[in-house]
Homo-oligomer: A and B are copies of this chain.
Amino acid sequence: MTKCSHDRKNIDIDSLNERVRKAGMKLTQQRSQLLKILLHHPEPISADEIFKKIDDKSDGMDLVTIYRILKKFEEGGLVSRLEFGDGVARFELTLESGHHHHHVICRHCQRVEPLHICDLDQHIKMVEAMGYKQVAHRLDFFGVCSRCQ
């Protein structure tokens, strides 16, 4: 039902690296390392989680650097910042060409699953009718997943 893993396979490190350069950023060892982690992580991941993943491999990269790269990548449109309400920002690769999805978050285990439907045209039209331009939206579902019930 979800196309997540399928989509993910269509992104490779090379095209990501190219997107870094296209955005006018230098491609450092740290940045490609971070891209690899994002690419292979199935769910939105926080700066600290990334840091711990790297730390385990005694292959240092500073937490500060992670924050800075994530901010740069967000500005460059490579990653999207998500907040699910627990005070920690999580990040995921922005898929190409307007691919757009939402999230289902388990209230119990915090696991995140993507939801690949989005039919909010009438909502968006209404917001535009209220006078807003450049309307974007965020839609998340919270529930208790089958494993946690």
B-binding residues in A (CB < 8 A):
1, 81, 83, 85, 87, 89, 104, 106-107, 113, 115, 117, 119-120, 122-124, 126-128, 130-146, 149
Contact A1 B130 (CB under 8 A): yes
Contact A132 B144 (CB under 8 A): yes
Copies of this chain, tallied across the complex? 2
Q: Chain B's nearest CB lies how many Å from the CB of A81?
A: 7
Name the residue among A122, A131, A135, A142 with the largest chain B CB count within 10 angstroms: A131
In the bound assembly, the distance between CA atoms of A130 and B1 in angstroms comes to 9
Assuming the contacts A81-B85, A83-B85, A127-B104, asked whether A141 and B132 have C-beta atoms less than 8 A apart, the reply is: yes
Contact A136 B126 (CB under 8 A): no
Complex contacts, A104 vs chain B, CB 8 Å? 127, 130, 132
Complex contacts, A107 vs chain B, CB 8 Å? 134
Assuming the contacts A83-B85, A89-B87, asked whether A134 and B144 have C-beta atoms less than 8 A apart, the reply is: yes
Select which of B119, B126, B133, B142 is within 8 A of A149 by beta carbon: B133
Q: Which residue of B lies closest to A135 (CB)?
A: B143
Contact A126 B134 (CB under 8 A): no
